[in-house]
Homo-oligomer: A and B are copies of this chain.
Amino acid sequence: MSWRKEERRAERGYHHGNLKEALLQAALDLIAQKGAAGFTFADAARMAGVSPAAPYRHFRDRDELLSSIAQRGFEQFEAQLAAAWDDGRPDTVTAFERVGKAYLAFARTEPAFYSAMFESGVAADSTAGLLAAGERAFGVIRAAAERLAALAPPNVPRPPALMMALHIWSMSHGVASLFARGDAARRKLPMSPEELLEAEVLIYLRGLGFTTDRRPASAAEPPPLPDDDKPAGPWGRSK
List residues of chain A with CB under 8 Å of any chain B CB. 35-37, 118-125, 146, 149, 157-163, 166-167, 169-175, 177-179, 183-185, 187-191, 196-197, 199-200, 202-208, 212, 224-231, 235, 237-239
Q: Which residues of the other chain, B, contact A162 by a CB distance below 8 angstroms? A: 190, 235, 238
Q: How far is the CA of A49 from the CA of B17 in the complex (A)?
A: 51
Tell me how many chains of this kind the complex includes.
2
Chain B residues with Cβ below 8 Å from A172 are: 174
Determine whether the beta carbon of A227 is less than 8 Å from that of B174. Answer: no
B-chain residues with CB within 8 Å of residue A185 when the two chains form the complex: 118-119, 121-124
Q: Which residue of B lies closest to A230 (CB)?
A: B160
Specify which chain B residues have a CB less than 8 angstroms from the CB of A187 in the assembled complex: 124
How many Å from the CB of A216 to the closest CB on chain B? 16
Q: A196 touching B170 by the CB < 8 A rule?
A: yes
For A37, what are the chain B residues with a Cβ–Cβ distance below 8 Å? Answer: 36-37, 120-121
Q: Which residue of B lies closest to A193 (CB)?
A: B170
| B-side contacts of A188, CB under 8 Å | 124-125
Chain B residues near A183: list those with CB within 8 A.
Answer: 121
Partner of A204, one of B123, B125, B207: B207
Given A37-B37, A146-B238, A174-B177: A203 and B124 interface contact (C-beta under 8 Å): no
Pair B160/A229 contact, Cβ less than 8 Å: yes
Contact A159 B121 (CB under 8 A): no
Output the least CB separation between A108 and chain B (Å): 15
13 A-B pairs within 8 Å (CB atoms) are namely: A119-B119, A123-B185, A125-B188, A149-B229, A149-B238, A159-B203, A160-B226, A160-B235, A167-B199, A170-B175, A170-B197, A173-B174, A203-B208
Q: Which residues of B contact A35 (CB under 8 A)?
A: 121
